[in-house]
Structure 1
Amino acid sequence: MSTPSPALTAKQTAALFNILTHHETYDEIEALKQPDTILSYGHPFTSEAPVANSSPKGSSRNSSRSNSKTSAKSTSPNGSMKSAKSAKASTDSIAASPVLQTLLRRFLLTLPGLRDLPEDFWSVRVQGLLTRLAAADLSESYDKGAMGTRKTLATAFSAMIESLVRGCLGGCPPSRGASDKEEKYDLKDAKELERAFNDVLYGVVYGDLIDDITVHVEKSADLEAHSPRIAAAVEYVILHLATLFHQVFILSPEGEYLRKLIESVHGMLPYAVIRQTLRMSNAATMMSGMLKLFLSKLSLGGFSNYIGLTKNANDGMNLLQRIISVVTGWDSAEFKKTLDKIEKRENAPSSDVLAALKAHAKASALVRASARNESQKSSQSIITIILNKSAPALATKLSTDQHAQCQEYYAALLSIRDRDELTTALCTQSPDLFTQTVRDLVGGFEPYIRAIHDKIDLREHVQDYQSFVDQFIAASKPQATGGAGAETRLPSVEDYVALLRTNRHMLYRWMHHGAAQAPEVRNVFKGWAKEAVVHFRKPGVEVAVPGSSAHVEGTMVESMADAFAALSEEVRGPLLPVLDAHAGHLDALEALSVGRMQQIIDGGSSTMAGPGIFLVSWQALLDSTLITPATPDGAVRRGKDVQNKTVEGKAGATDDAGETEEDKETRKEGEEARKKVLGSLPEGPDVTPVVEVMGAVFRKLIADAEGGSDSGSDISID
């Protein structure tokens, strides 16, 4: 294995790799909002706009079985890999999104169930849905003047998969010695938990831990009884997962809205009917009943489509689509209340002003993007730009308070439009790609569902899931203090830790039942896992279980360092201090994360911050988001300037019409906790110069490696 170039120290190399993977991952995720991104994505998508089969018979109630049969014929044991190979000719397509393409090819396209899907599933169904959503031009946080739900979730997803990207491209560190199975770990020491987790990673990637754990869970429903190493690693995972939940649902301004969204969907799912359907002993009958429950449409348009009298007539909604439509409808109703409230205020903006905002909210994507760009360049608010384009005199007559009301009004309009567009894309637009996608997925996983249903009573696991979601929702609400009166407090990280510890047996029981009673399914997915971890190995490291995948992963750090060394001294020199500063920043974050984990272990009861460097990466993405100026003329703001702001009409908004005194106290407590936690984070250096110089180079390195290497194993896991 080559060593890092002399131009960089080991810490500088790690810092450079951290910077580039962080920015490249989010850039590719953010690019998906552009309609043409998916066209240049590469396999399994096509470079032409998808042409969906609009025939209603193509999405009939029997399509799941036909899709399964079709995929079984078209996907030989090496079928999915042959399809992947056929797409390698287009390196330019790969270069469009090399990081996400690498993850998709190496892990998702080889996953049992997904690898058996027909090509139309990706190139027509999924690509069609992504194209629709991108073409809908959903609103930007910049225009709303606050962080949106999609921005919050997209940045969180990006921060979480960064580590996966680094492992896939840079390899799992081989310096972690695989511990003896019976080696002890101090569960009261955060560093010991971290050591155990790293030892487990090493054992999974380079050792035979996958086989060992599989044998254990086949015999026992207690995963932690496998070894002290596993027990300590589980505790490490629980602490980090609890911190993630707390960050998303408590500290995030969108947390209360997301919790109520989950609560609404959870309350509309017919769990009793689901369990009753699962009682059917025949797997085919059970699957047919479940598909009818969730995907059947009862409407005149659907019937006329089915018998051929009409084509693409609106055939109504199935249960899943009805849930989406109802939930988005509830949201829209709340935002309409915000519109009405503003319109009825004594000092409300004039009707001409509000009409101009309504017209702009309905304008084309090009018009709204033009206004956004002009706002950023001229340091004028998006409201000022909109009114200037409509009638310049309107903007000059606005008071400061009226300008703020206009911003709220415009944000509510965009929120309503977003939900209308989502409902159209997923529920009412013909052809119904959403329903076809779900049917295809069921068809792909049908053999595994049949095998599991024949051996395992799924009703108890559905009951476990329902119980866990109920407890999760309760844990995400203000908690009683236990004292006199009805005083409450914000949920803490410890509340989520307790939730996960209490319910971990549900997951263990599912793993045990699957491993013990469905061995054929167990072996298929174990084989996939053993092939997948090959992509996290560094070359030249001795392994206990050789993999069959030809790969070049694990060398990207060295390739990147060599590319940096090839830069001229004039270009390279100014970047070295930035890398040193970022390396120091990473060290500080590591120490902070371990300290927070130790604080929870030591028995705190109301900790508002937990471990996890990925949370800082997430917050950095949010903080750097551009936000429209708060005043008619002013500097463009960043996400860190609106940390406690959410769009009016959402749960948790600062002026929620239905907010009680208790709600206000809880919201204020959340704002104070958010300010305290975020204020304790060390601020990282500006790494823009590094990204500007090395970003395109890094992307090309990944694209070249992906285009010139095999997509994975040529050996069927089956």
Structure 2
Amino acid sequence: MAASDLSPATLSPEQTSTLFDILTHHETYREIEGFKQPGAIHAYGPPFQDNRSSTDSPVLQALLAKFVLQLPGLRDVSPSFWKTQVADLIDELCEAELSESYDKGVLGIRKTLATAVSALIEYPARGSLGAFPEKQERKRREYDTKNSDDVLQAWQDCLQEIVYGNLIEELFSKAAVTDDLEQHAGIVRGMHEFVVVNLASFMHYTLVLSPEGPALLRMIGSVHGLLPYSVIRQTLKVGNVATMISGVMRIMLAKVSVSAVTNWMGLSSGADEGMNLLQQIISQVLGWEKRELKSRATKIEKAKDGPPKAVLKELNDWIATRSRAEHEEARRQSKEQGHSIVTIILALSSQPTELSEKQHAQALEYLTLTLGVRDRQEIIRVLCSRNPDHLTVAIRDGVDAYTPMIRDVHQAVNLSDTVWDFERFLTDMLKISKPQGKKGEEKPPAVEDFVDLLHRHQSSSHKFIHQVCKNSKPLVEMWKAYVNTAAAQFRADAKAPTSSSLIPDSASPPRQLSEAFSHLSSEDQKAVSSEISAYTTYLRDLHAASATRIGSIIRREYSAPFGPGAYLARWQQLMDTTAVTPATPKGEVRFGSSKSVRDEARTDVDGETAGDGKEVKAMDEAEDSTPKMPDVTKTIELLGDRFREILGGS
């Protein structure tokens, strides 16, 4: 129904749903972005502070309270786990002021992960805050997993049965009987195929198409090569649970140094105890990258035709000695004046700004490399070199809370085999994530390759679930209760289970948004209605395009540039709209969608281009085939703050 068919002060149910969609998408990302500011965690609320009645992050706080804090095991951690260890780690990472994509001229791993998380969690946020509507008639039928329409229908029917039916009980009961997927009901097999295709799509997009895919693969591969799988597997075979847990903890967390011993004996206090194995892996992987980046920066410093030494020193000083406010001011001037960040940094100093085109490009690369080096140094400092060591204490607290569950799992499942299954899966994933074929004719992996990967290894997870459900009734009852409680958060016909969420129980965001719209001026209502109408069309096109892609993948056509999932388009939109410094001394601000930004992002730490350009071409094709999100600036401007108030935000 078009907006013009209604009174300006009235929104149809579809328009209200669209408005809610727009504002949850914007609010979720705003909250995630806000965590780069120091002190953000201190305005969060439970579990980090108990005495707050409002929060600066209502969506994230609600999701944490309703789903994460209710998790078996995690709900039993000590209060200091959240209030001290986790809170301090988050705060210190914020205070470290890790680099911005704007300054580096590329979308880094942090931006890629932040946008990915935002695009994913906005869906449960929308479902739990706005309720999942119940269909009056729910009928099961036969579902063909080779038919995309059946797979999509099975997913929709499965959601209804989980939230409003008895499918949860059925799933647990059947899993206790068999680990064979074919023995489950058709609705479950169809839902399983939907999950496999979408998970494969996410993996393909993250590891192959996204600009930071090569960096993520390299990092995963490095960690995979350093983990002592064989030692861990042998330790997991120990029959006594206490001895087994102690052994694994010693392998991963023990610090063997003179300082560790003297601190423990009381002969010293606060001395650096060195790193445990987990921290050594983090430090070593980031250290390798740091050395490569530093090596490339050194080549620029030594280049005879490179930027003057004084210019490079000024860039170093800007990174190391200028305040956060000065960094933000430089970005503001760069965007407003249409000058690169390098030009602005030099203009704010006593250094001349006249650089040749080549020198400017080298100076910008030097800034990118130096920021990358500093980022890795800061992450290592916070996670690996901090005293007291919050990371190690947090892990120990978590293991203590999960010890009863670990004991039950150890008795129910062969954990050594589980680790072996995981190792084989990771090895296989790293192998297929690389271009395949003869040299010079390599092709990047397709979504179908990741679907095959998950199909090859799905029996491992089925076996694990079956063994737990068959051999440990306490675990089954515990997790069944949790899943039922989580599902109840989405019900529209009952009050949600109690939690520490700061969103008022009386809050009904869609209804209150409709009321807020009715209080706008006639002119503002027309502007918002127009944007809602365009966004409604966008959502329809988005889901239609996703349905087309899932059909192509299930039919194994190898023609879809990327996989299904409307969240992928939302994720890409967040990355595409990320501002990046101009590449030339004077020029337009670039964005994540710019070809030059994507090309630079696929440059490996050693300076070599990752891939042969086909991944960038595939991403361009994906861009062309994806509906473009319309401008909703006016809607956010007029109703964004009111939406936050409705959610209980400060």
**2:150 aligned with 1:196:** no
**2:572 aligned with 1:614:** no
TM-score when normalising by structure 1: 0.86
**2:172 aligned with 1:214:** yes
Quote the Cα distance in structure 2 between the aligned partners of 1:506 and 1:107.
26
- Paired residue for 1:14? 17
1:388 is matched by which residue type in structure 2?
A
Aligned pairs for 1:522-671 within 5 A:
522-539=476-493, 549=498, 552=505, 555-605=508-558, 607-642=560-595, 644-645=597-598, 652-653=602-603, 657-658=607-608, 666-671=611-616
- Paired residue for 1:380? 339
Quote the Cα distance in structure 1 between the aligned partners of 2:524 and 2:84.
45
Quote the Cα distance in structure 2 between the aligned partners of 1:521 and 1:592.
40
**2:507 aligned with 1:507:** no
Quote the Cα distance in structure 2 between the aligned partners of 1:345 and 1:486.
32
Q: CA deviation at 1:597?
A: 1.1
Quote the Cα distance in structure 2 between the aligned partners of 1:654 and 1:136.
24
**2:631 aligned with 1:686:** yes
- Paired residue for 2:66? 106
Gaps of 5+ in 2: 1-6
- Paired residue for 2:207? 249
Q: CA deviation at 1:308?
A: 1.1
SS in 1 for 2:583: coil
1:361 is matched by which residue type in structure 2?
I
Q: CA deviation at 1:11?
A: 2.7
Superposition RMSD in Å: 2.1
- Paired residue for 1:186? 144
Aligned pairs for 1:111-510 within 5 A:
111-175=71-135, 177-180=137-140, 183-363=141-321, 364-393=323-352, 395-396=353-354, 398-480=355-437, 487-510=441-464
Quote the Cα distance in structure 2 between the aligned partners of 1:108 and 1:242.
24
Given that residues 198 and 563 in structure 2 are in contact (C-alpha distance below 8 angstroms), is that contact kept between their aligned partners in structure 1? yes
Given that residues 263 and 473 in structure 1 are in contact (C-alpha distance below 8 angstroms), is that contact kept between their aligned partners in structure 2? yes
Quote the Cα distance in structure 2 between the aligned partners of 1:606 and 1:634.
37
- Paired residue for 1:77? none
2:11 is matched by which residue type in structure 1?
L
**Deviating more after overlay: 135-144 vs 679-688:** 679-688
Q: CA deviation at 1:234?
A: 0.9
TM-score when normalising by structure 2: 0.94
Given that residues 552 and 559 in structure 2 are in contact (C-alpha distance below 8 angstroms), is that contact kept between their aligned partners in structure 1? no
Q: CA deviation at 1:8?
A: 1.1
SS in 1 for 2:635: helix
SS in 2 for 1:667: coil
Q: CA deviation at 1:432?
A: 0.4
Distance 1:673 1:431, change over 3 A: same
Given that residues 456 and 514 in structure 1 are in contact (C-alpha distance below 8 angstroms), is that contact kept between their aligned partners in structure 2? yes
Q: Identity, % of aligned pairs? A: 38
**Deviating more after overlay: 447-456 vs 255-264:** 447-456
- Paired residue for 1:70? none
Q: CA deviation at 1:112?
A: 1.1
Aligned pairs for 1:689-704 within 5 A:
689-703=634-648
Distance 1:548 1:583, change over 3 A: closer
**Deviating more after overlay: 267-276 vs 516-525:** 516-525
Given that residues 261 and 327 in structure 1 are in contact (C-alpha distance below 8 angstroms), is that contact kept between their aligned partners in structure 2? yes
Given that residues 11 and 514 in structure 2 are in contact (C-alpha distance below 8 angstroms), is that contact kept between their aligned partners in structure 1? yes
Quote the Cα distance in structure 2 between the aligned partners of 1:553 and 1:195.
33
SS in 2 for 1:489: coil
Aligned pairs for 1:89-100 within 5 A:
90-92=52-54, 94=55, 96-100=56-60
Quote the Cα distance in structure 1 between the aligned partners of 2:197 and 2:390.
39
Quote the Cα distance in structure 1 between the aligned partners of 2:530 and 2:22.
14
Quote the Cα distance in structure 2 between the aligned partners of 1:289 and 1:176.
54
Q: CA deviation at 1:108?
A: 1.2
Distance 1:589 1:524, change over 3 A: same
Q: CA deviation at 1:555?
A: 3.6
Given that residues 5 and 561 in structure 1 are in contact (C-alpha distance below 8 angstroms), is that contact kept between their aligned partners in structure 2? no
SS in 1 for 2:149: helix
SS in 1 for 2:75: coil
Count of residues in correspondence between the two structures: 639
SS in 2 for 1:115: helix
Given that residues 552 and 558 in structure 2 are in contact (C-alpha distance below 8 angstroms), is that contact kept between their aligned partners in structure 1? no
Quote the Cα distance in structure 2 between the aligned partners of 1:658 and 1:585.
38
Given that residues 310 and 351 in structure 2 are in contact (C-alpha distance below 8 angstroms), is that contact kept between their aligned partners in structure 1? no
Runs of 4+ in 1 over 4 A off after TM superposition: 546-554, 654-659
Distance 1:365 1:304, change over 3 A: farther
**2:33 aligned with 1:30:** yes
Given that residues 349 and 406 in structure 1 are in contact (C-alpha distance below 8 angstroms), is that contact kept between their aligned partners in structure 2? yes
Given that residues 72 and 479 in structure 2 are in contact (C-alpha distance below 8 angstroms), is that contact kept between their aligned partners in structure 1? yes
Give CA-to-partner distance per residue, 1:585-622, whole Å, 9 cap, x none: 11111111111111112221354221110001101111
Given that residues 432 and 449 in structure 2 are in contact (C-alpha distance below 8 angstroms), is that contact kept between their aligned partners in structure 1? yes
Given that residues 148 and 550 in structure 2 are in contact (C-alpha distance below 8 angstroms), is that contact kept between their aligned partners in structure 1? yes
Q: CA deviation at 1:143?
A: 0.3
Give CA-to-partner distance per residue, 1:250-296, whole Å, 9 cap, x none: 11111011011100001100000001101110000001111111000
Distance 1:401 1:496, change over 3 A: same
- Paired residue for 2:4? none
Distance 1:643 1:695, change over 3 A: farther
SS in 2 for 1:259: helix
2:420 is matched by which residue type in structure 1?
Q
Given that residues 186 and 193 in structure 1 are in contact (C-alpha distance below 8 angstroms), is that contact kept between their aligned partners in structure 2? yes
**Deviating more after overlay: 97-106 vs 606-615:** 606-615
Q: CA deviation at 1:325?
A: 0.3
Given that residues 582 and 684 in structure 1 are in contact (C-alpha distance below 8 angstroms), is that contact kept between their aligned partners in structure 2? yes
Quote the Cα distance in structure 2 between the aligned partners of 1:109 and 1:254.
31
1:538 is matched by which residue type in structure 2?
A
